[in-house]
Structure 1
Amino acid sequence: MKRLEAAELAAYLQQHRPRLIDVREAWEFEICHIEGSELLPMGRIPEAVDELQRETREIVLICHHGIRSRQVQLYLARYGIDHSINLEGGVDAWARTVDPDMPVY
């Protein structure tokens, strides 16, 4: 399963336009999120499987530290969704290495 560190994802985004899915809760997303990402909380992933199976772009999964997004990646793989990328270290790593102005919590 594919995974990228924050700096690698930043470089990847210069050349590619994947679908950025943030699996945190709404209150976390309100504090900070990567520009262009959409909120799809982990608890709503099961109801989104059909839609995600039809997604033709790569899917980047994002959470706070990369743990929930990894769990979602494993879950999606059980449904044949193997075009996902996990952001290692999550938005916390993104804030530390890519966007130092991003709020952290």
Structure 2
Amino acid sequence: MQVIQPAQLDTWLQQAATEAPGVVPVVLDVREPWEMQTASVKAEGFELVAMPMRSVPARYLELERDRPIACLCHHGARSAQVAHFLMQNGFTAVVNVHGGIHAWSQQRDPSVPVY
């Protein structure tokens, strides 16, 4: 599974645009609703989709298999599990955002609260 740091998201978005022109990448936030209310990212250059980890097995078919997806959670463990699950189920362009929203706050957007 490919892993990126939040600081590498722009490069990943550019790569996704090259490999899938006209397709808007997804940042799949697999945290719980209360976590998203506490801290969330701004969708800039991607679509933000909220799908708590526990709901992914029932809902993953809502996602397009060939659409670039970057999985995000608090620190990166849950999103790694979801990324692995998606890849096992035929998704072809999945990465895990290592360090999660905590690292996002440190590397990309300090206005995102740390919790």
Please say whether Structure 1 and Structure 2 have the same fold, judged by a TM-score greater than 0.5: yes
Deviates more, 1:57-66 or 1:79-88: 79-88
1:30-49 matches, within 5 Å, as: 30-36=37-43, 37-49=48-60
1:12-91 matches, within 5 Å, as: 12-13=12-13, 15=14, 16=17, 17-36=24-43, 37-52=48-63, 54-91=64-101
**CA RMSD after TM alignment:** 1.5
Question: What does residue 20 of structure 2 align with?
Answer: none
Helix, strand or coil for the counterpart of 1:61?
A: strand
Q: Deviations over 1:26-69 (max 9, x none)?
A: 000011111122211001101122222x3432011000001000
Segments of structure 1 that go 5 or more residues without pairing to the other structure are none
Structure 1 residue aligned with 2:104, among 83, 86, 94?
A: 94
Alignment size in residue pairs = 103
Question: What does residue 21 of structure 2 align with?
Answer: none
Segments of structure 2 that go 5 or more residues without pairing to the other structure are 18-23
Q: Judging changes above 3 Å, is the alpha-carbon distance between structure 1 residues 34 and 10 closer, same or farther for their aligned structure 2 residues?
A: farther
CA contact (8 A) 1:61 1:84 kept: yes
In the superposition, the TM-score normalised over structure 1's length comes to 0.88
- In percent, how many aligned pairs have the same letter? 38
In the superposition, the TM-score normalised over structure 2's length comes to 0.81
**Counterpart of 1:38 in structure 2: which amino acid?**
V
